[in-house]
Chains A and B, each alone.
Chain A
Amino acid sequence: MTTEVEFINVSKSYMNQHEAVDVLNGVSGEIEKGSIVTIIGPSGSGKSTILSLCNLLLTPDEGEVRIRGKDVREWNIQELRRRVGIAFQGAPMLTGTVLDNLSLPLRLQGRTLEDPKKYMEFVGLTEDHLSRQAKELSGGQRQRLSLARTLVNDPAILLLDEVTSALDSLSAHEVEELILRINREKQTTILWVTHDQSQAERVGDQTWLVIDGKVVEAAPTKQFFVKPKEAQTKHFLELRREYK
């Protein structure tokens, strides 16, 4: 197996009112090509920051993030961001129609989208949706459109930031199925941040637990949930079971 994404001792802090706050602290890990890594952890633990470092929407303060063996800072930035696509939690849309939004990635390159129908059908939307205002779509439809828009760039790596957390259970299930299909059919490597632990267990090949900016445990998903090694992982999973 080839390593697609590699974190080498990565640290990141933010300035909060003239004070540096550590968000990530010495994160290391490897992600295999074509695999799905689910990233879980409490709110504010640094999960989304891990994603944003992969396509240089944030820059590490220390350490390196490598995509296909090359430091993200050495990539042509536009090419990197097309190769490493991201879908955000709220599925933000630009003002305009569904087609305007779907074709955005190619318009940015001065090209036109030849076959919008293909992408719409792939994510379970119809051609009729194309002329509708994107901001008027339901949450589930927006998230599908957001994924389709990211797919227009044909990314090899997909970063998913809580993409189903704002959706009702049916829509969440459908979007989840869609992502699994993308992974199967396109061999896309996926880093999937989710607060839903049963989702993480269902979809992941590997699971990482991030607490206070550190990867506490990274293990094959089955092993992670059935036989966690670290005390902090056990405690975190127990808390969730008690809560349930």
Chain B
Amino acid sequence: MSLIALLFSFGFVIFSFFLSQAFKLGLGRDLIITSIRATIQLLIVGYILNTVFGFENPLAMILMLLVMVFVAAKNAAKRGKGLPRIFWKIFLTISIVEIITQGFLLGLQIVPATPQYIISISGMIIGNSMVIANLFLNRLKAELEMRKEEVVLVLSLGGSVKQSIYPILKQSIRSSLIPTVEGQRTIGLVQLPGMMTGQIIAGADPVQAVRFQLLIVFMILFAAVLTAIILGFLIYPGLFNKNQQLDISAW
């Protein structure tokens, strides 16, 4: 795509801006800022990827992956502000999910071990894990606010910390996975996934593109389940103090 064509596509944003102004939606500023931000971020990533793909040294790639996990953890940690060591727990969760998923893909030689594949697929894994971590923390907080009484009841009857929180943890894990599972139900029927569309536009055989997309679907489901479970079990002990009392006042 030429730069001129890209420039023309910015017309969509301008048009949305005027619609927002006309109907007084108050979104104009956000639309412009978001679009410019996306442009700058993607351009920078494009150049970085170009450079990383050029390096022979795998350290450059690992560094890039670490930055991606760091940014994702930083973003998701905002939802858990006040929880002890929340950033590191999310960082660890996403790292484990990334290592296990990539280990599986590369170990079984499902995808070639080249930076092009590893970084692109990692982007999907890490981004998806970040969204799941966000959803999980949101849900856990809401559930705890609603069902605090149940936790205290189980503790008061001599239950352990884990026994008191387990039903809530389970519900939060399930709820955080619903959008991912639901999203895969209509895949291909309503919208074609972005990566598959990209491959088809770039001239790939649609059947090959579908195979690759299926790999991504399975991988995303696995990564989502793993993220919610690991994060759940890393977080729950920090919701209690040493005297086994629910202590979420700082959250």
Q: Which residues of A contact B (CB under 8 A)?
A: 15, 55-59, 73, 77-79, 81-82, 85-86, 88, 90, 92, 94, 104-105, 108-109, 149-150, 153
Which one of A55, A92, A153 contacts B153 once the chains associate, using CB atoms below 8 Å? A92
In the A-B complex, list the 8 residue pairs whose CB atoms are closest, starting with the nearest.
A82-B158, A108-B159, A81-B158, A92-B149, A105-B157, A78-B158, A86-B156, A77-B244
What chain B residues lie within 8 Å of A92 (beta carbons)? 149-150, 153
Contact B158 A59 (CB under 8 A): no
* A74 vs B156: C-alpha distance when bound (angstroms): 17
What chain B residues lie within 8 Å of A85 (beta carbons)? 156-157
Chain B contributes a number of interface residues (CB within 8 A of A) equal to: 18
How close is B175's CB to chain A, nearest CB, in angstroms?
16
Additional A-B contact list (5), CB under 8 Å, known A56-B243, A153-B157: A57-B152, A73-B243, A85-B157, A88-B153, A108-B157
With both beta carbons as reference points, the residue of chain A lying nearest to B167 in the complex is identified as: A94
Which one of B149, B157, B163, B244 contacts A149 once the chains associate, using CB atoms below 8 Å? B157
18 CB contacts below 8 A, A to B, read: A56-B243, A56-B245, A57-B155, A58-B245, A77-B243, A78-B158, A78-B159, A78-B160, A79-B158, A81-B158, A88-B149, A88-B156, A90-B149, A104-B157, A105-B157, A108-B159, A149-B157, A150-B157
* A56 vs B156: C-alpha distance when bound (angstroms): 9
Which B153-173 residues have C-beta < 8 A from chain A?
Answer: 153-160, 163, 167
What chain A residues lie within 8 Å of B243 (beta carbons)? 56, 59, 73, 77
With both beta carbons as reference points, the residue of chain A lying nearest to B159 in the complex is identified as: A108
Q: Which residues of B contact A (CB under 8 A)?
A: 149-150, 152-160, 163, 167, 241, 243-245, 249
How close is B226's CB to chain A, nearest CB, in angstroms?
28
With both beta carbons as reference points, the residue of chain B lying nearest to A80 in the complex is identified as: B158
Q: A153 with B150: in contact, given A59-B243, A108-B163 (CB under 8 Å)?
A: no
With both beta carbons as reference points, the residue of chain A lying nearest to B160 in the complex is identified as: A78
What chain A residues lie within 8 Å of B241 (beta carbons)? 59
The CB with the most chain A CB atoms within 10 A, among B154, B158, B163, is that of B158
What chain B residues lie within 8 Å of A105 (beta carbons)? 157-158
With both beta carbons as reference points, the residue of chain B lying nearest to A56 in the complex is identified as: B243
Which one of B152, B154, B245 contacts A104 once the chains associate, using CB atoms below 8 Å? B154
What chain B residues lie within 8 Å of A82 (beta carbons)? 157-158
Contact A109 B244 (CB under 8 A): no
Contact A94 B150 (CB under 8 A): yes
Q: A108 with B245: in contact, given A57-B152, A88-B153, A92-B149 (CB under 8 Å)?
A: no
